[in-house]
Each structure stands twice: as structure tokens, then as C-alpha cells.
Amino acid sequence: MEDVIMKTRVAMMFGGKSVEHEVSVISGIQAYMSMDTDKYDVIPVYMTKNNEMYIGDSIGDIESYKNIDELLKKSQRVIMINEDGRVKLVQYPVKKLGKNVEVGIDVAFPVVHGTNVEDGGFQGYLKTMGIPFVGCDVTASAIGMDKYITKLVLKESNVPVLDARLYTLSDYADMESMMNDIENVFGYPVIVKPVNLGSSVGISVAKSRVELANSVDDAFRYATKVLVEHAITNLREINCSVLGDENDAIASECEEPLHTKDILSYEDKYVSNAKGSGSKGMASVSRRIPAELTPEKREEVRELAVRSFKALGCNGVSRIDFMIDADTDKLYFNEINTIPGSLAFYLWEPVGVPYKELLDRMIQLALKRERTEESLTFTFDTNILNQASFGGSKGSKM
């Protein structure tokens, strides 16, 4: 009699309440279709823009998302519960009579992008539910999504970043003073970006006061805090992915994305490349792989990528975007994508890591972290609630 090999059950989760919702669907289904099904039993889980979860036969079919209303009608809404230490996806609302849909899961694999889902909020939910999850933890996710805090952390690790100013809604209320400050500190051109969004949403370059006003208005449509920094005029953008954790990590091949404007736009990344590309997401962006770099500059990028990844405490796969000032050849960290579009698989295949293996390594890193955390002490046997007196009805200070 042959031994039955139990597969690890993975909830591949995508979508969610984010302006990058559609991009997440593409990335998530790409990952779902590339998983090692001999090793993993994969359940695709679609999260609506209201963060409601659905499973079903059509959830893993990209063609079904052309009509999401119809997709949801033939799919089953579920909620996540932890019952006696076992996490399940359970039919919601629960039927009082008859059998309910119930699916146990061993690990969650969030392939989500942007505010509310990539910024630590969703990771905190999974951690509270007690389910191991792939990718960065709560802290690294939150820091990685906030471009300003990321700069502050990396400065401490001697990673070169451009100086920047942070502006809030109170600054925005006095637009003239805000623009005067930007002009006095940076001059032109400047780049204006929401502090916590990805996929180039709300990001633009301003070369005059009129353009600055438009850029600021646009950025504040998407965030309550906005970052402004000097825009490099002779710019090369170089991206590199990193796989591992804060203790051990390796770098991928480098790429140079090609774009139509001063910066790589959302349209460059997703819209223009979707035509005729079969929903390939970030994998369809026009790019040079490998980037045209000297061996020395390539290694500088890759070393700096690993150092940044470790300094931010990342886990799984992240993509780190760099800027090279072509006039000085100086390299600057630009931003990190803690859950990059298409999970940056196209940067790993050139260095001998196929997508299926990349996904496997990410899951194993998640399970390794879970084992490590299980060895830590989070509770004590003593219980102060058993104490005889709390100092009367007013209580006492501890």
C-alpha cells in the first residue's frame, strides 16, 4: 500500500480594497497557475473591493473577471475562522440546515498590492487569525509602503536615498505656502508622490509652478500625506528583486524598464501592455533584461538591494527600484515593492529560478518564520487576575 502524501493547502489570496485591485487579480492568478500542484493544494481566494472573500471553480479563471457580478453569483462567499488552532474558510452566511462549505488551509499566500492590503493591515489580520502567511510581516509591510519612513530607516543603514519633504493635509490647506516651500527647498523639476501607494498611481514630475499645483492636487486624491523630492533629469531606472529573509537573502537579475514619460506610469506598467499580451501584468512591461550595466554597477545594485531588503526586515520576494543619475553615475534607492507585480518572476528566471521554484521558496520561508516564532515566548503562566486584591474598586497602578 502506497503512503499518502499530504499536500500543504495554500490559500492564494488576491484583489482587495485597493486602487491596484485589478493588478492584484492578474498577479494572483499568474501565481495560482504556476504553483507546484504535486506539492501544494491551492485554493484561489478572490477578495472584492469591500474585502469580502469568495472561492469557487471560476475564481482562478482570469476570463471570469470580465464580469465580476456574474462571477460572484456563481461563487461562494467565505470568512476565515480559527477553530481549535485550525484555520478554515467557512461559508458565509452559514446555513442553519444542510451542509456548509468548509475548507481548511495551512498557509495564506497574499498576492495583493497597495494601501489596505500590502501595508501591514491585511498581514495583521492574518497574524491575528493565527495562519502562517507568505511575504513580509506586519512591520516590514507597513514600513515598505510608507516611502518617507523607508527613507529614514535606510539612511540608518547607509543606503543612499534622495532627500525629501513630507506634506500633510494641513500643508495642502495652504497651497501657496506649500508650493513656496517646495520651490525654496528643491527648485524644479520635482517629483510628487503619495507617500503610501505603488504602481506609479498619483506620481508625476513637475517642471513649473502650474505643473506643481496639478501634481500636488493629483497626489492628494490618493493619500493624506505626500512626498516631494528632487527629480533627476537624466534618469535611468534599474530594478532588482530579492528573495529571502532578514538573515539570508539573494538578488535576482537587474532590469531597466522602458517608458513613455518622465517616469514609468501605471499605463506603461499595465494598460498599454495588456493589449494582445494575455493579461501578463508586470511581466509584459517593455524592459531590458539584463539591464545594460557594467559588471561593477550590476553588483553594486544587487548588493544594495540585498542590504536594503535585510535592513527593512523583509521576507519572501520584494522588488527594489533604484535610480541612477546618468550625469554622475550615482545610484539611489527609490522604493520597495514588498509584494511586487507578477511577484517579479521574470527577474528570477534569467538567474535559474523558475516561477514554480520561486513560489515554493516563498512558502518555505513563511513556514520557517512560523517555526521560529513558535519557539518564542509570548505568554507567562502567572495570571494577575488570580490575585486576591486589586486595591478596591478604583484598582491600583501596576
Supply 83's cell numbers. 477553530
pLDDT < 70 stretches in the chain: 1-5, 198-200, 259-285, 377-398
How many C-beta atoms surround the C-beta of residue 290 within 10 A? 15
Looking at residue 397, what is its pLDDT? 53
For the stretch 19-77, pLDDT in tens is 889 999 999 999 999 999 999 999 999 999 999 999 999 999 999 999 999 999 999 99
Torsion angle of the four alpha carbons 359, 360, 361, 362, in this order, in degrees rounded to the nearest 10: 50
Looking at residue 396, what is its pLDDT? 52
Q: Using CB atoms within 10 A of its CB, is residue 128 exposed (0-12), middle (13-18) or buried (19+)?
A: exposed
Query: Is residue 171 marked as binding?
Result: no
Q: Are 184 and 204 in contact (CB under 8 A)?
A: no
Instruction: For residue 231, give every residue at least 6 positions away whose Cβ sits within 8 Å of its Cβ, in sequence order, or none.
Output: 189, 190, 191, 205, 206, 262
Query: Is residue 246 marked as binding?
Result: no
Supply 388's cell numbers. 486576591
Supply 131's cell numbers. 495562519
Q: Is 51 left (phi over 0), alpha (psi -120 to 50) or beta?
A: left
Distance CA 336, CA 343 (A): 12
User: What are the extents of the domains in the chain?
Assistant: 8-133, 144-159+233-374, 164-230
Superfamily assignment of 164-230 in CATH? ATP-grasp fold, A domain (3.30.1490.20)
Looking at residue 115, what is its pLDDT? 83
Looking at residue 384, what is its pLDDT? 67
Active site residues: 20, 199, 342
Query: Is residue 321 marked as binding?
Result: yes
The domain at 144-159+233-374 falls in which architecture? 2-Layer Sandwich (3.30)
Of 310, 314, 311, 330, the closest CA to residue 322 belongs to: 330
Looking at residue 268, what is its pLDDT? 47
Q: Which CATH number fits domain 8-133: 3.40.50.20, 3.40.50.300, 3.40.50.2300, 3.40.50.10490?
A: 3.40.50.20
Is the full-model pTM beyond 0.95? no
Looking at residue 150, what is its pLDDT? 97
